[in-house]
Amino acid sequence: MASERPLLDASPRPPPPPPPPASSLLPPPQQEPPLRADRLAFSLDVPDPFRREDHPQQQQPDASRSVVVGDPSAAAAAAAGFAGNAIRTAKYSVLTFLPRNLFEQFRRLSYVYFLAITVLNQLPQVAVFGRGASVLPLAFVLFVTAVKDAYEDFRRHRSDRQENNRLARVLAAFSAPGGGEFPPKKWKHIRVGDVVRVASSETLPADMVLLATSDPSGVAHVQTVNLDGETNLKTRYAKQETQVRFSQDGSVGGVLHCERPNRNIYGFQANLEIDGKRVSLGPSNIVLRGCELKNTTWAIGVVVYAGKETKVMLNSSGAPSKRSRLETQLNRETVILSIMLIGMCTTASVLAGIWILNHRGDLELTQFFREKDYTTGKNYNYYGMGMQIFITFLMAVIVYQVIIPISLYISMELVRLGQAYFMGADKDLYDESSRSKFQCRALNINEDLGQIKYVFSDKTGTLTENKMEFQCASIRGVDYCSGKDSCGYSVVVDDLLWTPKMAVRTDPQLLKLLRSGGTDEETKLALEFFLALAACNTIVPLVLDTRDSKQKLIDYQGESPDEQALVYAAASYGIVLVERTSGYVVIDVLGDRQRFDILGLHEFDSDRKRMSVIVGCPNKTVKLYVKGADSSLFGITKSSLDLDIVRATEAHLHKYSSLGLRTLVVGMRELSLPEFEEWQLAYENASTAVLGRGNLLRSVAANIENNIHILGATGIEDKLQDGVPEAIESLRQADIKVWILTGDKQETAISIGYSCKLLTNDMTQIVINSNSKESCKRSLEEALATAKKLRITSSTGTLSPELASESAGITLALIIDGNSLVYILETELQEELFKVARECSVVLCCRVAPLQKAGIVALIKNRTDDMTLAIGDGANDVSMIQMADVGVGISGQEGRQAVMASDFAMGQFRFLVPLLLVHGHWNYQRMSYMILYNFYKNATFVLVLFWYVLYTAFTLTTAITEWSSLLYTVLYTSLPTIVVGILDKDLSKETLLAYPKLYGSGQRDEKYNVNLFVLNMLEALWQSLVIFYIPYFAYRQSTIDMSSLGDLWALAPVIVVNMLLAMDIFRWNWIVHAFVWGTIAATTICLFVIDSIWVLPGYGCPRKLNAFMSLHAMVPHFVIKAFSEHFIPSDIQIAREIEKSENVNLVNRSEVSMTRLDDPRR
């Protein structure tokens, strides 16, 4: 994720508002993100953690709710309409199932078409099929879907019931028997205002404000794994006022005013009126439904949001549905087929009209027509020519409807299900380290994976592991970077040895300096530096038992991996954070345990890009420790002092970031008593305010954070994941453009670019970082000119091969930062950027905000037909993941929000290679073939029906029995295509990985396009002619009856289309054999069975097996196939031959397994 994620704090925050253009002051910064979101057309249903919830308009008094603590009935009386705690995720009940499920199903257009045809068939004048037979296919499909839905809903009901009937301990009213105690109560009966007691490891039944905990300082730890997937513990606090009151006499009380239910997991504002005082409450005072209480014996809270109004329920909306490109293209072909259908129906009905016109005088006496019913003397079923044409048209629609393969949609879903199963089961996509399987979250875009042209990747956590490791420190202008060996440092507490869980490589010189115990300035400042690292954070040390009873392990839990790394580093140097409560921290400073009071904490926000704590030291001084981004901290240093140090530190920072390290600057200021008192007053006022507290706190922080002494800087390494350079190389060979979008600094981004081999030394870099629109425009124009110049040299170079290869080596890399993007995205400069970016083979965007990421994806997506894929792991990637055609989430360190929003989720970036090059290729190839084949096979059948109509006086008689024509799509031909769609592989995994360029077939739409569609239709035309006319000429002027010939015409297409499929199958394993031959056998058996039922007209027909004579139809296909495969071979064909002749598996094994070739760090 990125880096936008400020180095200090992992929880997603609102993006920094772009610096307002100098001229305009109008839009207040806070409103910017939602506005931008709307312009980018995000679905509003999507949980958007970036959207600020603290808009002024949302804080109006009437928009809040009041909760009387411990008195649910009063609360309910005061404001009706609080939701109860029962939840309901199930869609249907027994009564509503049928109508609602049918309604849901018929929202699909194809089903409506199905239904319309069936209804049409029920009209007596138009009835082509018998009633039963015509309803059957629709009924079958509806039934299968309904059973599936019912089963899913049943499971939801069951889990709802379990959830609702769980027990929680709720404070009984004092008046009631057992008052003051906590008898168990079912979750569904809990109401807003109830006071609930939760024990350790219990799940919270509703969103509650903490009142008291077992910890005297009111701390409670919760695990939010069910909510956002983060496994680390988060600290929540009960307010001292309620904590004290409860511990005194076990009573609770007060009235709580809080905002309306909303879906912002990270925001909460309220105040509590208790004992005549107003206490402010924030996000750190609320615990949410679904979390688990950990490391805290008990906690007591008052329910503020229940049931469907809890934040977890408000956030549980499914991923937005996307449509695959193949499906969109398929619709175009469906339109063509509809036109064909109308054409055929019109032809049939017009010819029928002409026939009637020619025979108008004869109709009464003609034995096979006989217009009149003489018992009534009226015409029977004849309404004049016009009406007759119309009825014929409708009947033709019913007879020929199969040409639009409705069953294809069902087949496609089954195939995707199978493909998803195999992708999930692939051990190459299984992440050993996190034990996470590949997940197919969106089931309808599998085949898009085979057509990707752009990959937009986040950096932190996606390319890198997001396991931070402290590497370098620069203290007062001295660089300590030579860390070699890691020596653990332990502290002794109560005769027990406490050891930090992780040791960091330390610099011996620095260690010596610290241990020397000197009192000179240098040692003091080094100590201050590490004290700042240990104190200025939100890390909670957890003490874990080890097998050795003498030893304990300190595990630093926190929301930011950067902070963890810093605290571990401080610990390794001997400054060990031992304990943290809401009021103080205990730090073991080189063996001496000291208590530091935390007087105030200014949380990180992305405007300030820093955080600070006010610490009361043991020696009664008050200090402010700050840490934050360099740009932010150098702005608030005491400018007169430290000039040399600032300069040296800047040089070190530059060095660190060019090594690819994440940098952070640490500063300090001693506060005088008046300064402190002034601050304290402002801080208390701000933190109890209900309205605009965030802004007030920010301004308090800004007031105090100045005149800072620079203590030093840190460099934290974020290691590249395994196989990233190799994976990126493979993707680029496959002509996939990889763009990196990161929040990191430009230098860091470039160095990561080098280490993952995205950037190479022979590339020309175009760097754009501008601060105004004009300069942006200029840079873009220059870049475009450079690109043109390069292109001209390379194109003239093609005259001589040597020059061509030389100039082809010069490629462009565009590096652009978020500041410039502010002036480019959403303005007319976008077009320029797009042109430049297309010329470049590598694009690196640094310092970008989450919505800018989405904007960049949109830049490509809206202007080209190219498929885009976004991959990321953090909450700030959500918008990008949802914007791209395919969104991939990395289930990594930073929670599961990216995964929740993604279409596919996996454990490692390098899995992208097998996912795209292997599974994407297969899925695309299989699905394309299946769609084309389904069009072809249905068209063949319908055309056979059509030719027969020419010999029935255009009256749409079908020689094929209605059962056979209905079973044709369902049974006779569908199973092999589904099996082939799931199992067939044109090339082996090894070959596809060894030759990434083979991926190009999907990018170029080679397997599914209009030409192939037309070819398939021509094939269908030819084969239908053969299938129809060979029996026609063989049996014309003979005694053959309709049923016998009908059987021939039913069996022949089945044989022919299955033989064609057999010819095109790449890989014959036993399953494919069984289904292809089994289907032909089953069809034959079916026809014999149908004909042995004497109710049906075909009873006893012989001669079916003559249908095999239609195999003549296969000759052209075979000729074309043999010719094109040999004389105009595709890359895939060549690769298949290579695969067969050589043993690719052995030759390229080393390349395939993508083991790390070298240390990719530098």
Partner 1 sequence: MGGDESYSKFTQQELPACKPILTPKWVVSVFFLVGIIFVPVGVVSLLAARDVVEIVDRYDDACVPANMTDNKLAYIQNPNISKDCTRTLTITEDMKQPIFVYYQLDNFYQNHRRYVKSRNDGQLRDAAKANQTSACEPEKTTADGKPIVPCGLIAWSLFNDTYSFTRGNENLTVDKKDISWKSDREHKFGKNVYPSNFQNGLLKGGGTLDPAIPLSEQEDLIVWMRTAALPTFRKLYGRIYVDLKKNDTITVRLSNNYNTYNFGGKKKLVLSTATWLGGKNDFLGFAYVIVGGLCFFLAFAFTLLYFIKPRKLGDHNYLSWNRHPAGR
- Pick out the residues of the known binding site for ATP: 458-460, 563, 604, 627, 662, 742-744, 847, 853, 876-877
Among residues 521, 799, 1070, 1158, the one that binds partner 1 under rule CB under 8 A: 1070
Residue 815 burial class via C-beta count within 10 angstroms: exposed 0-12, middle 13-18, buried 19 and up: buried
Whole-number minimum distance, CB 367 to partner 1, in Å?
3
Side by side, the strands of the sheet bearing 551-557 are: 491-493, 496-500, 551-557, 540-545
Q: Is there a contact between 868 and 860 (Cβ–Cβ < 8 Å)?
A: yes
Residue closer to partner 1, measured from CB, 401 or 794: 794
Angle between helix axes 109-122 and 406-425 (nearest 10 degrees) is 150
Q: Determine the interface stretch with partner 1 among 3-11, 249-257, 1013-1021, 1065-1073 (rule: CB under 8 A).
A: 1065-1073
Site for partner 1 in 1091-1120 (CB under 8 A): 1094-1095, 1097, 1099-1100, 1109, 1112, 1115, 1118-1119
Identify whether the C-beta of residue 461 lies closer than 8 Å to the C-beta of residue 874: yes
Smallest separation (angstroms) from partner 1 to the CB of 1037: 6
Total residues at the site for partner 1 (CB under 8 A)? 91
Q: Which of 223, 1044, 1079, 1084 binds partner 1 (CB under 8 A)?
A: 1044
Site for partner 1 in 1134-1153 (CB under 8 A): 1134-1142
Among 140, 380, 383, 1088, binds partner 1 (CB under 8 A): 380
458, 605, 718, 984: which is the annotated catalytic residue? 458
User: Considering the rule CB under 8 A, would residue 43 count as an interface residue with partner 1?
Assistant: no
Q: Which residues lie closer than 8 Å to 1150 by C-beta, 6 or more apart?
A: none
- 1036 binds partner 1, rule: CB under 8 A: yes
Nearest to 571 by CA among 559, 551, 583, 586: 586
Q: How far is the CB of 732 from partner 1 (least distance, A)?
A: 8
Give the Cβ contact number of residue 785 at 10 Å. 11
Whole-angstrom distance, CA of residue 244 vs CA of residue 251: 10
Residues in 784-803 that interact with partner 1 by CB under 8 A: 798, 801
Which three-class secondary structure state does DSSP give residue 46? coil
Residue 94 lies near partner 1 (rule: CB under 8 A)? no
Residue 1118 Cβ, how far from partner 1 at the closest point, in Å?
Answer: 7
**Is the CB of 705 or the CB of 1091 nearer to partner 1?**
1091
Q: How far is CA 652 from the centre of its chain?
A: 38
Between 126 and 700, CB nearer to partner 1: 126
DSSP per-residue letters across 309-332: GSHHHHT--PPPP---HHHHHHHH
Distance between first and last Cα of the chain:
21
Q: How many CA atoms lie within 13 A of 109 on its CB side?
A: 4
Q: Which residues are annotated as a binding site?
A: 458-460, 563, 604, 627, 662, 742-744, 847, 853, 873, 876-877
Nearer to partner 1, 372 or 441 (CB): 372
Of 979, 999, 969, nearest to 987 by C-alpha is: 999
1154: left (phi over 0), alpha (psi -120 to 50) or beta: left
Among 88, 156, 1121, 1156, binds partner 1 (CB under 8 A): 1121
589 near partner 1 (CB under 8 A): no
Nearer to partner 1, 400 or 529 (CB): 400
Dihedral of CA atoms 111, 117, 121, 127 in degrees, nearest 10, equals: -140
Q: Which parts of 801-820 interact with partner 1 (CB under 8 A)?
A: 801, 804-805, 808, 811
Q: Report d(CA 340, CA 356) in Å as an integer.
A: 24
Closest distance between partner 1 and the C-beta of residue 899, in Å? Answer: 18
Instruction: Pick the closer one to partner 1 by CB: 834 or 1108.
Output: 1108
- Report in angstroms how near the CB of residue 386 gets to partner 1 at its nearest: 18
Distance CA(765)–CA(463), nearest Å, equals 21
390 binds partner 1 (CB under 8 A): no
Among 177, 1038, 1158, 1162, binds partner 1 (CB under 8 A): 1038
Q: Which of residues 822-851 bind partner 1 (CB under 8 A)?
A: 841
Let me know how long the chain is. Answer: 1162
Q: Taking CB under 8 A as the rule, does residue 1131 contact partner 1?
A: yes
Nearest Cα residue to 969 out of 923, 1007, 936: 936
Q: Is the dihedral of CA 815, 817, 822, 825 positive or negative?
A: positive
Residue 725 and residue 1162: Cα distance in Å, rounded? 11
The CB-of-1119 to partner 1 minimum distance in angstroms stands at: 6
What token pair was written down for 195? 């006071």
For partner 1, the closer of residues 437 and 627 by Cβ is 437
458 among known catalytic residues: yes
Q: Residue 548's CB: how many other CB atoms inside 10 A? A: 10
Tell the smallest beta-carbon distance from residue 1029 to partner 1 (Å). 9
Known binding site for Mg(2+): residues? Answer: 458, 460, 873, 877
DSSP-based three-state secondary structure for 1095: coil
Considering the rule CB under 8 A, would residue 182 count as an interface residue with partner 1? no
Q: Which of 1037, 1146, 1158, 1159 binds partner 1 (CB under 8 A)?
A: 1037
**Shortest Cβ distance from residue 918 to partner 1 (Å)?**
10
CB closer to partner 1, 103 vs 1118: 1118
- The token duo for 1159 is 């240390």
Q: Which residue, among 1008, 732, 739, has the nearest Cα to 869 in the 3D structure?
A: 739
975 to 1014, contacts with partner 1 by CB under 8 A? 983, 985, 989, 995, 997, 1000
Which range touches partner 1 (CB under 8 A), out of 264-272, 603-611, 704-712, 946-954? 946-954
Q: Output 148 or 1036, the one with its CB closest to partner 1.
A: 1036
Residues 82 and 192 sit within 8 Å (Cβ to Cβ): yes
- Classify each residue of 168-194 as buried b or exposed e, where b means 16 or more C-beta atoms within 10 Å of its C-beta: bbbbbeeeeeeeeebeebebbebbbbb
Binding mask 358-377 for partner 1 (x = CB under 8 A): -x--x-xxxxxxx-xxxx--
* Contact with partner 1 (CB under 8 A) among 26, 184, 512, 1127: 1127
Question: Shortest Cβ distance from residue 953 to partner 1 (Å)?
Answer: 5
Sites for partner 1 among residues 417-456 (CB under 8 A): 422, 425-427, 430, 435, 437
Which C-beta is closer to partner 1: that of 703 or that of 1011?
1011
Residue 413 or 426 with smaller CB distance to partner 1: 426
Q: Which of 469, 472, 540, 546 is nearest to 509 (CA)?
A: 472
Which range, of 282-290, 491-499, 593-601, 1132-1140, touches partner 1 by CB under 8 A?
A: 1132-1140
Q: Is 1033 in the site for partner 1 (CB under 8 A)?
A: yes
Binding to partner 1 in span 1045-1064, by CB under 8 A: 1045-1046
Which CB atom, from 886 or from 959, has the smaller least distance to partner 1?
959
Radius of gyration of the chain (CA): 36
266 makes contact with partner 1 (CB under 8 A): no
Q: If binding is defined by CB under 8 A, does position 912 make contact with partner 1?
A: no
Residue 860 and residue 818: Cα distance in Å, rounded? 17
> Smallest gap, in angstroms, from Cβ of residue 902 to partner 1?
21
Among 1129, 1143, 1155, 1157, binds partner 1 (CB under 8 A): 1129
Distances (CA, A) of 171 to 177, 178, 198, 384, 1051: 11, 9, 11, 83, 75
Q: How far is the CB of 1125 from partner 1 (least distance, A)?
A: 5
The tokens for 342 are 């109308």
Structure tokens at 458: 């986040």
The catalytic residue positions are 458
